[in-house]
Structure 1
Amino acid sequence: MKNLRNNTSKYITCFAFSCMLFSASCTKEYLDPSRAKTDVALTSQQGLTAVSIGLQRVYTLGRTGVMFNSIAANGFVTNEFSLLNSGNIPELQLSTGGNAVDGTNTILFNLWTSANKIIYDADLVIANAGNLGDKGYASGLIAYSSIFKALAIGNMAQYWEKIPDGTGKNVQFIARAAGFTKAIGVLDNALTVIAANPISAGFNSNVPPAVNIVNTLHALKARYALFSGNYPLALTEANAVDLTKSSAFAFDPASPNILFSIISSNNVFQPLNVNLGLTGANVPDAGDKRIPFYTFFTGTPTATIRMGGFATATSTAFPIYLPGEITLIKAEAFARQPDLPNALIELNKV
């Protein structure tokens, strides 16, 4: 009996010790020592810069980015693209249209989730940048992040009738027009901030140089003002854009242009035809310079149409806006006010 008690006591002690170890192993938090804590990152200039630059990565890189998915969705909806492989189910759904497009469509899913991720991260930068001592650097952070927040809101508003009015739980949804107005508000705030404290040279040296921040803010504001029907504002903002300067997303072998990757595989989609999907009276003239820029033929023994333009190489930059877009915004803004003589002047510039 004594031995039994002693053995039982040993077993209980061992069991209790094991439980203690198990409990400790379940509650211990293992942290990645190479990764900064969120609260620390958002209080430092370096951390906020990293988050801000990361917005461009989420927007542009890979098949999950907003750039690829917005282009793919637009191309099939407008009948500009031809599906090459019906095994690409998301593209097949969009090319078929109607009830074929369901909740499993990853193009729409990625567009939605990446856009909301950008808005969430941009809000963190915008909310915390003002706490920095260098106000010129803070202005750059706010302006740069606002570009991607506005693009994310604008892209969602273009594809959905209603979009969330923020991020988090129990968020209300707003109509498309209100979404464009919200994007304009984001851009307005950025322009106000940099008017008070111009962007510092130090900030400009730390972000991708291909993005012209001030021009892009005005260009996007003109775009969304036009979409929302505010034609006087669209014209004012379009006139504020310096058409001699470009603004684009730059790529390189380490961060490749996803459009080139997709097009060069020749296994997903290509342009439907040289008419850019247009029919009837809208077919481009034979001398339209867009045709040789955006399309070309290659392959043997029979050459097939391929996408050119901004999908020709791994490092081909993708424009955030085009000078021609800004001129057309002016033309439409004039026409809808209405001021047809000035609208025609702008159209003839294209």
Structure 2
Amino acid sequence: MKNFKIKSIYIACGLLTFASSISSCKKDFEDPSRASVDVALGSSQALSAVAVGIQRTYTLNRTGVLFNSITASGFSGNELKLLNSGNIPELQLSTGGNAVDGTNTILFNMWASSFKVIDESNKVIAGAEALGDKAYASGLIGYVTIFKALSLGTISTFWQQVPVTIGKNVPFVNRTDGYKTAIAAIDNALAKIAANPISTQFSGTVPNLNIENTLHALKARYALFSGQYALALTEAGLVSLSSGSSFTFDNANINILNSVIASNNVFQPIDANLGLGGAFAPDVTDKRLVFYTKMEGSPATIRMNGFAATTTTPIPIFLPGEMILIKAEAYARQTTPDLNNSLIELNKVVTKTTDIFGVTASLPALVGPYTQAQLLDLIYKHRSIELYASGLKLEDMRRFGRPVSEMKRSFMPYPFQERDNNTNTPANPTF
């Protein structure tokens, strides 16, 4: 039997005891039981269970990659406001600058969980390669590669230099190479799927994910982030905008954003304009504002809505609007900018009235002509609204050349646990 239920993620816990705990400061994830575990990972059942555990590590609770990346980017990019200064890691990020140091547990949890995901994904990919059922194996490889690529992309977003291999005293590479490593992992998965299309037996176990579509979307994202504009344009064009992929939750495994927002003790949106002002202030009729925020309580205060609305609200891995805005930006940043097509793509987001996730601006079309600089400013503005609290804001601020005065921090210091155990750890950035 190869079936595994994606919502029953707790089943993987027993099989994941071989992995290092999240508090480990090493990235080799060695365990005395390694030999017996490697034998177990020769079966499709064990590989499936570990694959489900990888999603758990990425998405669930406040140690996961998802929550901590949204939190770190949200404070650093002025999307979130702190409600309780007793939350020290959040206070550091909210204060910014030198207040953020290697003791910050949000950064450490994001770092450690990312490398745990990468390590476990590598093991599943290696095990899947040896399976006789290649159509099931390609599904496993594609599925865990989503989380591997997301984790590589996350560390490359927040740190200037990153390790892309697992082991002791591993070297660091430029963050751009981190994005390119994510793309290489995606290319490997897409090649496996092209050679052996994912079996219905496997795809039926992950109904909330269109694996191939998601891989192309992530490749488009990281191609854009690494300055490969032609590739970003091509990959975004391969993504179906009518097929969504989400992290789903249930009553046993709830949406972590909702649980934090509901406590009203950690953070909420910084304001009704999502932290944007001046020329970047949203139009008051922009329907994305009432999607992402709401006024609630007595007296009424701003609260997060959108993908934090309920305990079971799915969180998209990517939004259709992101793919459209990737095209708009790629056209504008080409060696010979294509400003006409860039504006056409931007207006698809500006005027959008239907969306599989409900993110619609429903505004009148923008009318040019615009210079390249003006168009890029508009793309930045609409990325900031469309992709609110997605964990992507800080990367966008750097890429669009926003002044450091608008950020709480540009790049993050390395966790002390990494520095204590890897002599290759670079010096911390000044800001």
TM-score (norm. length: structure 2): 0.72
- 1:180-329 matches, cutoff 5 A: 180-206=179-205, 208-300=206-298, 302-329=299-326
SS of 2:348's partner is: coil
User: Once the 2 structures are TM-superposed, how far is the Cα of residue 205 of structure 1 from its aligned partner?
Assistant: 2.4
Query: Does the CA-based 8 Å contact 2:249-2:312 persist in structure 1?
Result: yes
Structure 1 position 83, deviation (Å): 0.3
Deviation, structure 1 residue 242 = 0.4
Aligned counterparts of 1:156 and 1:52: Cα–Cα separation in 2? 20
Identify the match of residue 330 of structure 2 among 324, 330, 333.
333
Aligned AA for 1:57? R
Identity of aligned residues (%): 63
Structure 1 unmatched ranges of 5 or more: 1-30
| 3-state SS of paired residue (1:315) | coil
Structure 2 unaligned spans of 5+? 1-31, 350-431
Partner Cα separation in structure 1 for residue 199 and residue 76 of structure 2: 42
- 2: CA distance between counterparts of 1:99 and 1:222? 34
Aligned mates of 1:142, 1:315 — CA distance in 2:
27
Q: Is the 8 A contact 2:220 2:235 kept in 1?
A: yes
- Residue in structure 1 matched with residue 41 of structure 2 by the alignment: 42
In 1, distance between residues paired with 2:50 and 2:36? 12
**1:5 maps to which residue?**
none
Q: How is 1:48-63 mapped onto 2 (pairs within 5 angstroms)?
A: 48-63=47-62
Cα deviation 1:80-132 (Å, max 9, x = unaligned): 11100000000000000011011110000000000000000000011111111
Deviation for aligned residue 1:54: 1.1
Taking the aligned partners of 2:37 and 2:307, their CA distance within structure 1 comes to 36
Q: Which residue of 1 aligns with 2:91?
A: 92
What is the CA–CA distance in structure 2 between the aligned matches of 1:183 and 1:131, rounded to whole Å?
22
| Bigger Rg, which one | 1
Q: What one-letter code is carried by the residue in structure 2 that aligns with 1:340?
A: L
In structure 2, distance between residues paired with 1:144 and 1:41: 19
Contact residue 79 and residue 274 of structure 2 kept, 8 A? yes
Q: Distance in 1 between matches of 2:198 and 2:192?
A: 9
Q: Distance in 2 between matches of 1:181 and 1:103?
A: 26
User: Deviation of residue 41 (structure 1)?
Assistant: 2.3
Give the aligned residue type for 1:203: F
Deviation at 1:70, TM superposition (A): 0.2
Q: Distance in 1 between matches of 2:307 and 2:72?
A: 17
**1:348 corresponding residue in structure 2:** 347
Q: Over the residues paired in the alignment, what is the CA RMSD in angstroms?
A: 1.3
Cα distance in 2 for residues equivalent to 1:306 and 1:186:
38
Q: 2:70 corresponds to which residue?
A: 71
The DSSP-based 3-state class of the residue aligned with 1:209 is coil
CA contact (8 A) 2:152 2:164 kept: no
CA distance in structure 1 between the aligned counterparts of 2:37 and 2:148, rounded to whole angstroms: 19
Report the structure, 1 or 2, having the larger helix content. 1
In structure 2, what is the equivalent of residue 178 of structure 1?
177
2: CA distance, partners of 1:323 / 1:37: 43
Amino acid at match of 2:323: I
Output the CA distance in 2 between the equivalents of 1:37 and 1:324.
46
